[in-house]
Amino acid sequence: MARRVNINLPNPGNLDFQIKLEGDWVKVSQYIDSLAPSIQRGYDIATSRFAKSLLVIVKRSIVSGTPPKGGGVTWEPLSPATIHRYGDHPIYYLTGLYHRSVGFFKYKSRTFIGLPINRKRSSNGGLTLNQLAIILEYGTGGRGGGKIGGTIPPRPLWGPSLKSIGGKEKLKSQIITELRRQLSKYGIKPNQVKW
């Protein structure tokens, strides 16, 4: 399985939900043109809300240097060699670049919460920010740190943050709730919209 830190969100076109419409077909045909934009708006509102909540947890952990509460993990402290080389700092917050870079990103075919694609850590090349995040998340597994040096223990941030917020089930719940809210404008009852 490929190691990654970004949390991919389902595309609105791939959502598997149904709207059960019965009754006045003239009225239903008037809604058809408005349904797609309303579904997109509901999806956008729900995913944006979810992303903001998740990013609060992630950024709090980055600044404090502690794992997300309710994530079920602990992090090993920085090694004495790391502290000697870089000074004492929160685990994920050496320069602040990681903290400033995390966000909610929409590309043509993908929407995700995490780090921008292919952003370099520094102007002199080296690892991308995403590659560094993967090392911090999963560790180096005793292979040495390559350009970073030494063995880096895993300090999971993204999976535990997602768990602490309620996981993808929470996202699914927020999407269906917002879809129902958007579609209620057309007289569609909540029980007519199911996942």
Chain segment 13-55, per-residue pLDDT in tens: 677 777 776 666 666 676 777 788 888 899 999 999 999 999 9
Per-residue pLDDT band for 145 (boundaries 50, 70, 90) equals very low
What is the pLDDT, as a whole number, of residue 150? 65
From residue 31, give the alpha-carbon distance in Å to each of 20, 38, 93, 183, 190: 13, 10, 50, 10, 16
Q: How confident is the model at residue 121 (pLDDT cuts 50, 70, 90)?
A: low
More reliable by pLDDT, 163 or 16: 163
Phi, psi angle pair for 151, to nearest 5°: -90, 130
Q: If residue 9 lies in a helix (H) or strand (E), which one and from where to where?
A: strand 7-9
Which whole number is the average pLDDT over 105-129?
76
With a cut of 60, say whether residue 147 has pLDDT above it: no
Distance (Å, rounded) from C-alpha 163 to C-alpha 169? 10
What pLDDT was estimated at residue 116?
87
Both tokens assigned to 84: 């000697």
Check residues 72 and 122 and name the one with the higher pLDDT.
72
Taking CA atoms, 143 is separated from 78, 132, 134, 150, in Å, by 18, 15, 14, 8
